Amino acid sequence: MNKFYITTPIYYPSAKLHIGHAYCTTVADAAARFHRLLGEDVFFLTGSDEHGQKIEDTAKAAGVTPKEYVDNIVAGFQKLWERLKISNDDFLRTTDERHHKVVQEVFRRIYDNGDIYKGEYKGLYCTPCESYWTEHQLKDGRCPDCGRPVKEVAEEAYFFKLSNYADRILEHIENHPEFIVPTSRRNEMVNFIKQGLEDLCISRTSFDWGIPVPIDEKHVIYVWFDALTNYITPIGFLDDAEKFKKFWPADIHLVGKEIVRFHSIIWPAILMALNLPLPKQIYGHGWLVVSGDKMSKSKGNVVDPMLLIDEFGADAIRYFLLREIQLGSDGNFSRDALISRINSDLANDLGNLLHRTLNMVGKFGDKKVYLPKITRDVDAALTEEAKATVEFYKNAMENMEISEAVKKVWGFVSRANKYIDETAPWALAKDETKKEELSATLYNLAASLRIIAILIEPYMPQTAENIWSQLALKENFKDVRLTGAQNFQGIEDAHEVGKAKQLFPRIEVK
């Protein structure tokens, strides 16, 4: 059986998560669910990145211990993922004992190999980004990532010989065009490495909130070295060789564009030092802005996904994020655009298709759908479109072209709505000689909805189950695979459907 291992970044519990974080996790969730639909053995990991000076400072300011502080915020992360119907198989906290052991072991192994040494670090440090910068990397004397001032720091520290790996990493990137996606990010990385890599400072003595260096306890391990290692902890790096062999290397590390660099340079170098294979792909997604503006506390425009779920439900938010934003590009979130998608695509297109279909099966027949005895041109066109949709969907989803896949499925929803108008079942119902045609129409509509339910499961898991249960299909929805959608006539003869219930209420625009 094929396996699929996908990860999100582990988020900093320095504040509550916003819609941008929810976007990344939703994309990863859609991919994980799709691969489960393919029947693959999926491992989907997310988590929290809890160490570092910034967290220590924030906790102090809040008058609590760092652990108390992170416990509270991370409980909020987990609650959010539960409400957003995120199907992660594990949640890794860098404060977990199991992770602590892995990080120390990784440090020890690389130290023993001679790729970690002790030296002195003098550098320009950006505390919010937890990043050291060289003079020439600064932009107008400030942190090139966040634009905030940096401070000069000097301390005894351990270094990782990143410079030793520059050539091998470059060679790997050049030989594996799919390693860094999209191409724009890949080109950035190539240019970055070609400027030369300096050894990486991987320990600190200036604060305590971190995992101690195993050979020198006054040092704590630098947060990125700690954080990146999260990806091998839950799949058995230390404690389950069989599981580790199965799931490593990861298939996709999905990350935001500004942290592609850590994942495609530092992480591969650590793995090379450990003699482990590299992840198959680093996918850098774009950033979400809100009504055209970058989200920030000072602007007061940070969108809380929990409030959106309260108001519109998880599936509507998931649909919007997956449909509106092309993976790899920046995207815009706005309340108006969300409401307009809910009204047009969900309440109108999908909701009406289900509602009209089930109502007609009840009104014009005996609540049952019967395998068609005839095939008209419109029927053939509909089944052809269903087949083409499933095929397109499969390819697009395999390539992480998620919004394209969503659009294609909604193209099919529209096609099915058009089929109602073309076949005009209300007219067929008045004509005794058109019984077979009416029956074929009703069956084909129910069959289309069955396929739609399967295809949208990765996007809108609750809606998919809801449609399934309204169709009253006997097969347990959890057991359905994509192969089920490849068979158009997947509903048995004389199947009795359920009663229509509203999928999405229309949102009144004030």
The site for ligand ME8 (CB under 6 A) is made up of: 9-12, 20-21, 23-24, 49, 227-228, 230, 255-256, 258-259, 287-288, 295
Quick one: 322 or 456, whose CB is closer to ligand ME8? 322
Q: What is the CA radius of gyration of the chain?
A: 26
What helix, strand, coil percent values describe the chain, rounded to 5? 50, 15, 30
Of 252, 325, 321, 264, the residue nearest 459 (C-alpha): 321
Contact 332, 293 (CB under 8 A): no
Taking the C-alpha atoms of residue 383 and residue 371, their distance in angstroms, rounded to an integer, is: 14
Cβ 168 to ligand ME8 shortest distance, Å: 21
- Nearer Cβ to ligand ME8 (8/448): 8
**Residue nearer to ligand ME8 on the CB measure, 94 or 343:** 94
In whole angstroms, the minimum distance from the beta carbon of 176 to ligand ME8 comes to 20
CB-nearest residue to ligand ME8: 256
Q: How far is the CB of 256 from ligand ME8 (least distance, A)?
A: 2
- By beta-carbon proximity to ligand ME8, the closer residue of 165 and 267 is 267
Which of 208, 166, 178 minimizes the C-alpha distance to 65? 208
195: amino acid identity, one letter: Q
Give whichever of 12 and 133 is closer to ligand ME8, judged by the CB atom: 12
Please report, in angstroms and rounded to a whole number, the separation of the first and last CA atoms in the chain.
52
- Could you tell me if 84 and 313 are in contact, meaning their C-beta atoms sit under 8 angstroms apart? no
Minimum CB distance to ligand ME8, residue 487 (Å): 38
The distance of closest approach from Cβ of residue 352 to ligand ME8 in the complex, given in angstroms and rounded to an integer, is 33
Query: Is the Cβ of residue 124 or residue 288 nearer to ligand ME8 in the bound state?
Result: 288
- CA–CA distance, 167 with 498 (Å, rounded to integer): 62
Q: Buried b / exposed e across 465-479, counting CB within 10 Å, b at 16+?
A: ebbbebbebeeebee
Choice between 169 and 255, CB closer to ligand ME8: 255
Name every residue whose Cβ is closer than 8 Å to that of residue 274 and which is 6 or more positions away in sequence.
106, 109, 110
Closer of 129 and 166 to ligand ME8 (Cβ): 129
Least Å from the CB of residue 416 to ligand ME8: 33
Q: Indicate the residue among 81 and 468 with the shorter CB distance to ligand ME8.
A: 81
C-alpha separations of 333 from 13, 295, 311, 313 in Å:
23, 10, 16, 16
- Give backbone dihedrals phi and psi of 110, rounded to 5 degrees, phi first: -70, -35
CA distance 83 to 62: 27
The minimum distance between CB 277 and ligand ME8, in angstroms, equals 18
Q: Which is nearer to ligand ME8, 107 or 410 (CB)?
A: 107
- From the CB of 130, what's the least distance to ligand ME8, in Å? 8
Closer Cβ to ligand ME8, 153 or 295, answer by number: 295
Query: Both tokens of residue 188?
Result: 């950035």
Q: Are 197 and 190 in contact (CB under 8 A)?
A: no
Query: CB of 350 within 8 A of CB of 466?
Result: no
Min separation Cβ 241 and ligand ME8, Å:
23
Could you tell me if 19 and 305 are in contact, meaning their C-beta atoms sit under 8 angstroms apart? yes
Query: Could you tell me the smallest distance in angstroms from the CB atom of residue 62 to ligand ME8?
Result: 18
Q: Quick check: 121 and 154 in contact, CB under 8 A?
A: yes
Supply the minimum distance, in Å, between the C-beta of residue 197 and ligand ME8: 19
Residue 135 in tokens = 């003079």
